[in-house]
């Protein structure tokens, strides 16, 4: 099995630190607002990676975190008047409910930043003692980037490039613009904790390093997250963790692509965020998964108006094949090693769900042909598809129930369109072809196609 490693910039054969066991950590959600499709996609990808590693026979311990204290959460607390700790807890509960609707399994270990405060303070104390961090008179603590010569090895930047890629704050007590906060001195009205440097709270980067070490110790096999986290977040995690331990932090760094909406980066400022709740109110979990997994996890996904409706249509057609087999009295039982082996081949190549899903179209075409020919081996074929692709969260529903719920339903056209269609039918009976064509154009302009039959017509919404 080969995995693309951001650290080395190439696919590498996967070998865990300890035979038969995998330690995997993925950055979770900062609970400052609704979970959006990007959060859902990231959670889905690492859930699938965990499950495939388990299929390969590994004992996987998978940890995710909730960042439940940071600048954005504090801003939301001030905006809503809800205490920051209560706001964070409420959002965690809400996000968990939405993730459950998507049928994404929980990790083995959930970690929260606020439950790791003693560990964070101890981590910072050691970095100061080792000369990798310094406290200011105001009670802030910064990591000294220049004390870690390998800084930039994940994002493949030198220090000058890195300086151009970070937001520079105005703290004159920083020794270098690249230095980042490990501990932030308390401001009035903000949540804070006691520390050797005075009241304050941790910086974002140190939270993840500490929570990771709390779950696994000094080293892990896989660290995951979105590509937007490579710099500076994951770069900073490497610097502070390896400065403390003197060991390589993660063997493999895996990063999923980002979500775009009609070609634009999804962002709050553009007002184009797709919230998970809205998506789940409209589509099934299987539809969302099929739509998202058709792209290799490292590539960006462009969400167009047709992405989810098209995925839903494909799923309905797939389920119709299951139903057709059952209606024909064919038992959906047995195994088909070829299908499972091919799936494994795809997933062994850097978890290529896109390639695995593209195979489905050929499988179902063959299955329909087998059903038409009375070939009972189709039962084993369909059963294997259900079994194998369940790892991606597909084909878990009852075929008839899915078709009834999401299959194409006839919609009656508006009265205005029906009136035009009736007038056109009369024009055709009177052989007034010019008027007939003009009415067809009017109907089309209103969003409907008209198909002629003998003394009748059919209206279809475009």
Q: What is the secondary structure of 299-330 as a DSSP string?
A: S-EEE-TTHHHHHHHHHHHHHHHHHHHHHTT-
**Across 273-287, average pLDDT:** 94
Q: What angle do CA 259, 261, 265 make, to 5 degrees?
A: 60
Q: Is residue 160 predicted with pLDDT exceeding 70? A: yes
| pTM of the full structure | 0.86
Picking from 281, 271, 270, 279, the residue whose alpha carbon sits closest to that of residue 307 is: 279
pLDDT of residue 203: 94
Picking from 99, 87, 81, the residue whose alpha carbon sits closest to that of residue 32 is: 87
pLDDT of residue 459: 84
Q: What's the mean pLDDT when you consider all of the chain?
A: 93
Separation of alpha carbons 121 and 206, rounded Å: 9
Q: Give percent above pLDDT 70 in the chain.
A: 96
pLDDT in tens, 340-398: 999 999 999 999 999 999 999 999 999 999 999 999 999 999 999 999 999 999 999 99
More confident residue, 452 or 439: 439
Q: Which region holds residue 358: left if phi is over 0, alpha if psi is between -120 and 50, else beta? A: alpha
Separation of alpha carbons 65 and 229, rounded Å: 14
**Terminus-to-terminus CA distance in the chain, angstroms?**
45
pLDDT in tens, 391-428: 999 999 999 999 999 987 545 688 899 899 999 999 99
pLDDT in tens, 172-184: 789 998 999 999 9
pLDDT in tens, 25-46: 999 999 998 899 999 999 999 9
Separation of alpha carbons 288 and 307, rounded Å: 9
Q: What angle do CA 161, 162, 167 make, to 5 degrees?
A: 120
pLDDT of residue 165: 60
Question: 389, 395 in Cβ contact below 8 A?
Answer: yes
């Amino acid at each position: 099995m080969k995995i693309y490693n951001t650290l080395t910039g190439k696919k590498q054969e996967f070998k865990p630190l300890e035979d038969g066991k995998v330690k995997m950590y993925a950055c979770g959600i900062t609970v400052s607002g609704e979970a959006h499709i990007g959060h859902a996609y990231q959670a889905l990808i690492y859930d699938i990676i965990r499950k495939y590693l388990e299929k390969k026979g590994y004992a996987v311990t998978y940890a995710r975190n909730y960042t439940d204290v940071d600048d954005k959460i504090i801003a939301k607390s001030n905006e809503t008047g809800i205490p920051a700790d209560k706001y964070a807890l409420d959002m965690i509960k809400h996000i968990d409910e939405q993730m459950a609707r998507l049928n994404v399994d929980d990790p083995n270990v959930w970690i929260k930043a606020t439950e790791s405060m003693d560990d964070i303070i101890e981590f910072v104390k050691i970095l100061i003692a080792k000369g990798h961090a310094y406290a200011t008179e105001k009670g802030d603590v910064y990591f000294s980037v220049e004390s870690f010569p390998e800084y930039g090895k994940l994002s493949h930047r030198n220090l000058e490039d890195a300086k151009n890629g970070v937001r520079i704050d105005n703290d004159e007590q920083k020794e270098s613009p690249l230095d980042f906060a490990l501990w932030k001195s308390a401001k009035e009205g903000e949540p804070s904790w006691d520390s050797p440097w005075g009241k304050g709270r941790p910086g974002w980067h140190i939270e993840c390093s500490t929570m990771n070490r709390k779950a696994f110790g000094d080293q892990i096999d896989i660290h995951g997250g979105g590509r937007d986290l490579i710099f500076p977040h994951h770069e900073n995690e490497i610097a502070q963790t390896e400065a403390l331990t003197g060991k390589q932090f993660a063997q493999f760094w895996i990063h999923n692509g980002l979500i775009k909406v009609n070609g634009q980066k999804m962002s709050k400022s553009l007002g184009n965020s797709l919230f998970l709740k809205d998506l789940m109110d409209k589509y099934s979990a299987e539809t969302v998964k099929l739509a998202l997994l058709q792209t290799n996890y490292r590539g960006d996904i462009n969400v167009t108006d047709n992405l989810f409706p098209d995925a839903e249509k494909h799923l309905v057609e797939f389920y119709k094949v299951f139903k057709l087999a059952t209606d024909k009295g064919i038992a959906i039982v047995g195994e088909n090693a070829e299908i499972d082996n091919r799936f494994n081949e795809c997933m062994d190549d850097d978890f290529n769900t896109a390639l695995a899903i593209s195979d489905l179209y050929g499988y179902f075409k063959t299955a329909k042909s087998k059903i038409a020919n009375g070939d009972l081996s189709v039962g084993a074929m369909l059963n294997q598809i259900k079994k194998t692709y369940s790892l991606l969260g597909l084909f878990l529903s009852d075929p008839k129930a899915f078709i009834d719920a999401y299959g194409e339903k006839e919609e009656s056209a508006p009265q205005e369109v029906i009136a035009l269609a009736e007038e056109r039918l009369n024009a055709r009976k009177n052989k007034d072809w010019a008027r007939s064509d003009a009415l067809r154009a009017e109907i089309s302009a209103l969003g409907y196609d008209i198909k002629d039959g003998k003394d009748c017509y059919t209206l279809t919404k475009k």
